Amino acid sequence: MRLSMHASARFIRCSCVRVAAPLLLAALLSGCWDRTEINDLAIITAAGMDLADDGKIKLSVQLFVPSPPSSEQGSSTSSPGASNKTIIRYATGLDMADAAARLQEMMSRRLFWGQADVFIFGEKLAKRSIKEPMDFLTRHPHPRERANLFVSDGEAEEIVKWKTPIERNSAETLREMAVLQTGLNTSILQVIEELAEEAHTAVIPVVRIMRKKPEVPFIGGTVAIKDLRQAAKLDSLETRGLLWLRNEIKFATLTAPAYPGGDYASVYIYSANSKLVPSIKGNKWSMLVAIEATSNLNENASTLDITKEANVKRLERTFEGIIQSRIDKTVKKAQRSGIDYLGFAEQYHRHYPKHWLAAKKDWDTRFPKIEVRYKIRLTIARNGLTGKNATLQSGGGNNS
């Protein structure tokens, strides 16, 4: 009797627990606070920041609007681009966050920054300050630090709304072009890293639109940022020099007369490595640019017989000279402007910390006086499928 009472009490307690547990779980079921459906999102693929006339920031975004899955099934036979479209929206605000909030007011879907691969500063904004947008982009948890940064030649809006024939949208085009690295490829993290370094400068590639029909944006040139605003502008060729200094050259094609007065020859550099070696002797600061590059001969229309070792060496010296003059052009330009976007300051900081501490204050006057020396070593490793090109010479093989 007593035993069964005890047992039934336990049974009741057990069933109470069994009823209570699902009820408690049910309380959690409703709580999907951070649930987001993909068709509630307006996915930003690229954003352009321009300076509006009244000093506000004009934000133009390129949105990728995923269509609901039901319609996608219907259109699965047609091209995938048909069901998903890219649209452009604009908003103006006091700062970037304000502009984004205003943009949100006009949207039926929630803005999502997590897939934004490209951010473009308008030229006018870059000339004023990139501080505001940069703070937003690093503070907000959504934008990715790997996103590419660009400065546009003119309005950023132009680039954002440009419709590309090849890739999905202009953001994708720009990103792919940056990866191919004919110009710089800078992510948000890299820019922050450079701004945090001793010289407080950074370089951001420039996008411009070719003004002929058809209009094509391309990455040509670089903007140097000093004190968070655009301080200097390099053209494409000077950017190549900058890439050499920054050890970011991956591929390069160099073309020059094979010998003075001769026809052109070209080499394709497929592996390059550069290094800045600072040195201080007494009061004389100098910087050695050491470069090693390996290349293949791509073209040789001249009469130079490249099957002879001495001629290959001559050709190598010629192209070493080309590289040097390219870099020197960039260095001279930087030194004339007094803005150290070449990364010299960081090298002195790393290798001569004590000297650097003393020279830090008047770096802008010291930087132009630094002597830059070069040690360039270029190897032509292969000469292609043909050797001596006697057949293609008008007079036959009459070279030395």
Give 33 or 108: the residue with its C-beta nearer to other proteins: 33
Any residues with CB less than 8 A from the CB of 168 and at least 6 apart, and which?
A: 64, 81, 86
Helix (H, G, I), strand (E, B) or coil at 102: helix
Site membership for other proteins, residue 145 (CB under 8 A): yes
CA nearest to 286, candidates 357, 226, 366, 364: 366
- Are 204 and 232 spatial neighbours (Cβ–Cβ below 8 Å)? no
For other proteins, the closer CB: 135 or 364: 135
Site for other proteins in 226-245 (CB under 8 A): none
In terms of Cβ atoms closer than 10 Å to its own Cβ (0-12, 13-18, 19+), residue 227 is exposed
- Site pattern 32..61 for other proteins (x: CB under 8 A): -xx---------------------------
Selected from 10, 85, 110, 146, the binder of other proteins by CB under 8 A is: 146
Contact between 31 and other proteins (CB under 8 A)?
A: yes
Q: Which pairing describes strands 41-51 and 57-65: parallel, antiparallel, or unpaired?
A: antiparallel
Per rule CB under 8 A, is residue 358 in the interface with other proteins? no
Q: Determine the Cα–Cα distance for residues 282 and 320; give it in Å rounded to an integer.
A: 30
Total binding residues toward other proteins, as defined by CB under 8 A: 21
Q: Is 181 in the site for other proteins (CB under 8 A)?
A: no
Residue 114 interacting with other proteins (CB under 8 A): yes
According to the binding rule CB under 8 A, does residue 141 interact with other proteins? Answer: yes
Chosen residue from 208, 240, 349, 388 binding other proteins by CB under 8 A: 349
Q: To 10 degrees, what angle do helices 131-139 and 188-196 make? A: 120
Task: Give least dist CB 152 to other proteins, A.
Answer: 25
Tokens of 342: 């070449």
* Interface with other proteins in residues 186-225 (CB under 8 A): 187, 189, 192-193, 196-197
Q: How far is CA 325 from the centre of its chain?
A: 25
Least CB distance to other proteins at residue 187 (A): 8
At residue 255, φ and ψ (nearest 5 deg) are -130, 135
Point out which residues bind other proteins (CB under 8 A).
31, 33-34, 114, 138, 141, 144-146, 187, 189, 192-193, 196-197, 349-351, 353-354, 357
